Structure 1
Amino acid sequence: MDTNISPTLASPQVAAQDQLALKQVWENIQPDSCPYSYNFHMHTRCSDGQLQPEALIEQAISIGLKGLAITDHHTVAGYYAAQSFLEQRQQSLPSGSVPHLWTGVEITSHLLVTDVHILGYAFDPMHPSLQPYLHNKPNPFKIPQAAKVITAIQQAGGLAVLAHPARYRRPPEKLIPAAADLGIDGVETYYAYGNPKPWQPSSKRTQKVKQLSATYKLFNTCGTDTHGLNLLWRV
């Protein structure tokens, strides 16, 4: 099911922090929502991706994405560049064809003595709580606890999501309950663990993660985790 994102008269910066609109999208996310309608996990050259932010936005428009978030590691530089370019392109595009760009970031943290990635969305990128984590790359000698990262994202008005929960040393049956206990908002349920082309979520792992998200009343999200030159797959 597709969700119509109501047009807003607010500034692009305010729209990027529209948590309510994002929740409405996530409430209706389906296995086929990504990568042609929504994509909430992608990287640019501002971290470890290959696409320039402007090229990413051009692809998003060409694909027909309705909404997206750039989730570079420990930086929002890609978001700022993409938002600026999107504002320029908006002048030459038909009404309704401009995708909704939310703020996004991916932060390395510790959960159950395991390195995990926490995705943040729809937050104020200037909020003081997030500044310790926006330094372009993680410090391997000072990885924060997941509890602190989740709290920081939420204090900045955002939503916190456990990225690719079936890709870590500990299983999702352990990590998702632990993250839920810390107040996390969602999990990246629809994820292609084997990097298939065309992109499609891994059925068995998706089913397990979806069951856990339902048990703990979490939002389901989706994303290609693009690091290469094509938003339709991971690399």
Structure 2
Amino acid sequence: MVVNFARTSTSADTLRQVFQKVDAQSCPKLFNFHMHTVHSDGKLQPSTLMEQAIAIGLQGLAITDHHSIAGYQAAQAWLKNWQWRNSSENAPDLWSGVEINANLLDVEVHILAYAFEPEHPSLKPYLQKKPTTGKHYQANNVITAIHQSGGLAVLAHPVRYKRSHVDLIAAAAERGIDGVEAFYAYNNPKPWRPSALETQQVQQLADEYQLFNTCGTDTHGLNLLQRL
């Protein structure tokens, strides 16, 4: 498998196809679209993260540091070197990713951006290693910027916020969100598994609004198979 460096609209099309097939068994051993490195509030070095991803056998992943793509860029460089040394081995697809704070219905939410062009000017305000303010902080503007950069926008962990996920998903869909993080472990179980009730509720809303379902461990610790 040739790694997709997520620099063209084709990579977003490929990711759409993956999202259409994501289910409760996809994460954390086939796909993982939510993880953090030392470049935001995580503990993993990008190189260690990629070593774990390959050891696990991930087919695809995205590093989603908060307001930074430095971890993704380091992982991308590491993976390219790994491929040169292991040309006969399958490599996972690595998509660009970032987690962005935003205001939605007067509540702060997190929006995950995937498969965007990292150098696109529309995303520059969101890649400064800190949350934005003013108009850039509004969810509709975040989603628009992600789309302008060729990427996909996903509402992270919809049941974690101070307002009902029913209201938030409806509002996000109205503003053009592409997907919701349906498969998420809200109580940090070991081994990792998506929370059954919350997953069912989010999936039903995703179906209603014709949104993708995505999955991710939201890893902040030293193990990609866990959140903490």
TM-score (norm 1): 0.93
Q: Does 1:116 align with 2:126?
A: no
Deviation at 1:7, TM superposition (A): 4.2
1:24-72 per-position Cα deviation (integer Å, ceiling 9, x unaligned): 1110001010000000000000000000011100000000000000000
Cα shift readout 1:101-137 (whole Å, capped 9, x = no counterpart): 0000000000000000000000001000000111112
Cα shift readout 1:112-169 (whole Å, capped 9, x = no counterpart): 0000000000000100000011111215788700000000000000000000000000
Whether the 8 Å contact between 1:16 and 1:102 is mirrored in structure 2 is no
CA distance in 1, matches of 2:89, 2:150: 26
CA-atom RMSD in angstroms: 1.8
Deviation at 1:87, TM superposition (A): 0.3
Q: 1:92 Cα shift?
A: 2.4
| C-alpha displacement of 1:171 | 1.2
1:63 is matched with which residue?
56
Match of residue 175 from structure 1? 168
Given that 2:2 and 2:90 are in contact with CA atoms closer than 8 Å, whether structure 1 keeps it comes out as: no
Choose the corresponding residue for 1:31, options 24, 27, 31: 24
| Match among 13, 38, 47 for residue 45 of structure 1 | 38
5+ long unaligned stretches in structure 2: none
Deviation at 1:218, TM superposition (A): 0.1
Cα distance in structure 1, aligned partners of 2:11 and 2:136: 29
**Residue 102 of structure 1 aligns with which residue?**
95
Letter in structure 2 aligned against 1:71: T
Taking the aligned partners of 1:38 and 1:142, their CA distance within structure 2 comes to 33
What SS is found at the alignment partner of 2:7? helix
Aligned to 2:215: 222
Q: Structure 1 residue 82 and structure 2 residue 75: aligned?
A: yes
Alpha-carbon distance in 1 for matches of 2:52, 2:145? 31
Off by >4 Å, runs of 4+ in structure 1: 139-143
1:16, distance to aligned residue in structure 2 (A): 9.2
- Residue of structure 2 in register with 1:203 after alignment: 196
Q: Is the 8 A contact 2:67 2:130 kept in 1?
A: yes
2:130 to 125, 137, 158: 137
Q: Quick one: distance in 2 between partners of 1:128 and 1:79?
A: 18
How far apart in 1 are the matches of 2:121 and 2:160? 31
Kindly provide the amino acid, as one letter, of the partner of residue 183 in structure 2. Answer: Y
Shift in Å at residue 97 of structure 1? 1.9
Contact 2:125–2:136 (CA<8 Å) still a contact in 1? no
Deviation at 1:14, TM superposition (A): 3.2
1:19 aligns with 2:19: no
**Per-residue Cα deviation, 1:184-223 (whole angstroms, up to 9, x for no partner):** 0000000000000100000000000000000000000000
Give secondary structure in 1 for the equivalent of 2:205. helix
- In the comparison of the two structures, how many residue pairs are matched? 228
Gaps of 5+ in 1: 1-5
Quote the Cα distance in structure 1 between the aligned partners of 2:101 and 2:10: 22
Aligned-residue sequence identity (percent) comes to: 58
How do residues 180-191 of structure 1 correspond to structure 2 at under 5 angstroms? 180-191=173-184
Report the Cα distance in structure 2 between the residues aligned to 1:69 and 1:184, rounded to whole angstroms: 18
